[in-house]
Structure 1
Amino acid sequence: MRKLKRTGIYLFLVVVAIVSIFPFLWMIISSTNLSVDVTQGRMLPGSHFIDNFNKLTDSINLLPSMWNSLKIALSTTILALLVASLAGYGFEIYRSKAKDIVFNVLLLSMMIPFAALMVPLYQMFSKLSGTVPIIGINTIAAVILPTFTTAFLIFFFRQNTKMFPRELLEAGRMDGLSELGLFFRVYMPTMKTTYSAGAIITFMSSWNNYLWPLIVLQTPEKRTIPLLVSNLGSSYSPDFGMIMTAIVISTIPTALVFFLMQKQFVAGMVGSVK
């Protein structure tokens, strides 16, 4: 009976794995085929990846858009980790009733959909364009500033900080460290798995961000890779082989970040402190 139950569990996991992997496998196979093969549902690898790649580079500014996405994603990730970890650390280590109220209000902000904030955000950055052009419309800063940290990330750091050993802070104070010194020299090295998990979440979210960059980036040379991939499918007769090639290329950075930091991500998500 136990063997039968275990066999059933393994079969279920195999089916779930196949269902999860199939879209990625189909995407990679389609990138090696012609558009007509993709529409016909061909599931065998072809030999047209180089042709699709050449057509892609002739159609869009691939490298500049990848560079734009990389700049935005890296800047957003660094700022998000710094601000969210400082906030989470402060909310948990220096607790008070007033801070708890502020934190609860912060959590309530998660219930507001971003679509409701787009119009006031756009108006604000439009006004800044005339006074502070470097953070106005059609700038990378305009993409980063509204999204570089979230209530979820602050909540994530606060929850993981609950398991942070307070004895380390007391030892640091006895050694003469300032409060900022405790944060940068004691807290940050100890919570590296939490930072890794937060980095993966933020980087992937920023890299795949579509709606706000679509609104605020108005010239082709400033656009990110998701915007250009979306434009490829808006033509009258889209080339699906080329589109799949663009999607495969745009997926590589996030896939690399995840697989290189997979162990730290899992440890950070379960609240491990090392």
Structure 2
Amino acid sequence: MDRLMATRVFVEVVDRGSQTAAAEHLDISRAMVSRYLAALEGWVGARLLHRTTRKLSLTQVGNELLPHCREMLLTAEAMRSTGLKANEGPSGNLRITCSQAFAQAWLSPVLVEYLALYPDTSVDVLISSQAENLVEEGIDLALRFTNRLDPNLVARQLGTCHSVVCASPGYLARAGVAQQPYELAAHNCLSYSYFGRSVWHFEGEGEQMEVAVSGNLSSNDSGVLLEAAVAGAGICMQPLFAAAPLLASGRLTRLLPHWQPQSLGIYAIYASRRQMLPALRSLLDFLAQRLADDPLWQAH
């Protein structure tokens, strides 16, 4: 029996949580899924999955084997792609992870453009702001905003994310307008909880300034903070790409226009440079070009 296909079946069963779901995705029968799993277990010489009527879980051997199976499938895809003719273009499925705000505000329409340009590709977007083990999670690309990138990661900087400080007209009418960064310490500031103690960094008027801010609401999702700011809860510092529509509509007002909040690098993180799929390489180049062409991401 095809061991590569058996490996693919095993990974799909784990990722989709059941043999039935894997069979539907692979367009094969459930009985064939069971045969492939049995064949793979026979080849390995150990049981890989605990199967019950209610749930499916990995054995210790299965848990140890899973990342090797993912790497095997990645290598097989790279070998297949190497033989493609240059004019055929990239193909295959890419699994991407990024934050919800970035996916909704910017990435989604750009992916639609990419998929129209390369119709033999497909993309699966996983919403997450947490660090992942790319190989174990079967992720081809993680898009992250940070200035503290782990030097051990394989990454490429695609652009720069600028931020703005803003609040609703109602809040400003009630609490006053901050004219200098240090005045933010007296306001209710809505903070991003992943960053721990909130210190906002600014550069402008020939100097740099750090301001320790506090408030009664924090979140690990920028959308929550933006909606709270629109509702008049306080002042927030948000990525320009997320706040731009609300600033344009007048629902939020930009503060401290002569002071630039600290920007963040936009990084593409992936498993390997040596075994990069053509589809992944073309997507990285496409995203980098779109970021370079979009005024939201230009230097201010």
TM range (shorter): under 0.3
If each structure's strand is expressed as a fraction of its own residues, which one has the higher value? 2
TM-score (norm 2): 0.23
Greater relative CO, 1 or 2 (CA 8 Å, sep 6+): 1
TM-score (norm 1): 0.24
